[in-house]
Amino acid sequence: MNVNLRHAAILGLAAVLVTPAFAQDNGADAYKTKCLMCHGADGMGKTPAGKALKVPAFKSIKASDADLIAAVTNGKNKMPAYAGKLTGPQIKAVVGYIRTLQK
């Protein structure tokens, strides 16, 4: 019985440690397919499309997670809306990934 409890604790800890990495990967994957063309791999917006659209660098954007989620969901300025193209959890994961590009 004690061994089963120990195994359950180890599995639970492993799930906690792996989940954030998976969520970040999911955000990175969605970013690569939907955002990279304009925002660039580093989030600086220095791609040809980003320059043409005057995309600001993520480091210069001071927005809450809720504001970023709304922008991705509904679109903003020349950025298209991704509601219906990405799920709510995918949009949240993309925002989490964007936060890593702001550092």
Mind listing the pLDDT tens digit for each residue in 38-63? 999 999 999 999 999 999 999 999 99
Rg over CA atoms, the chain: 17
Q: Which domain holds residue 56?
A: 24-101
- Scored b (16 or more CB within 10 A) or e, 27-53 reads bbebbeebbbebbbeebbbebeebeee
Residue 48 domain-assigned (yes or no): yes
Rounded to whole angstroms, the Cα distance separating 79 from 72 reads 8
pLDDT for 22: 45
Task: Decide if pLDDT at 37 tops 80.
Answer: yes
Residue 11 domain-assigned (yes or no): no
Residue 35 domain-assigned (yes or no): yes
Residue 3 domain-assigned (yes or no): no
Q: What is the mean pLDDT of residues 59-88?
A: 96
pTM, to two decimals: 0.74
Residue 4 domain-assigned (yes or no): no
Residue 12 domain-assigned (yes or no): no
Residue 39 domain-assigned (yes or no): yes
- From residue 80, how far is each of 25, 76, 77, 84 by CA, in Å? 23, 7, 8, 11
The CATH number of whichever domain residue 49 belongs to comes to: 1.10.760.10
Residue 19 domain-assigned (yes or no): no
Give percent above pLDDT 90 in the chain: 74
pLDDT for 103: 87
Instruction: Report the domain count for the chain.
Output: 1
Q: At what angle do helices 88-101 and 65-74 cross, to 10 degrees?
A: 120
Task: Decide if pLDDT at 15 tops 60.
Answer: no
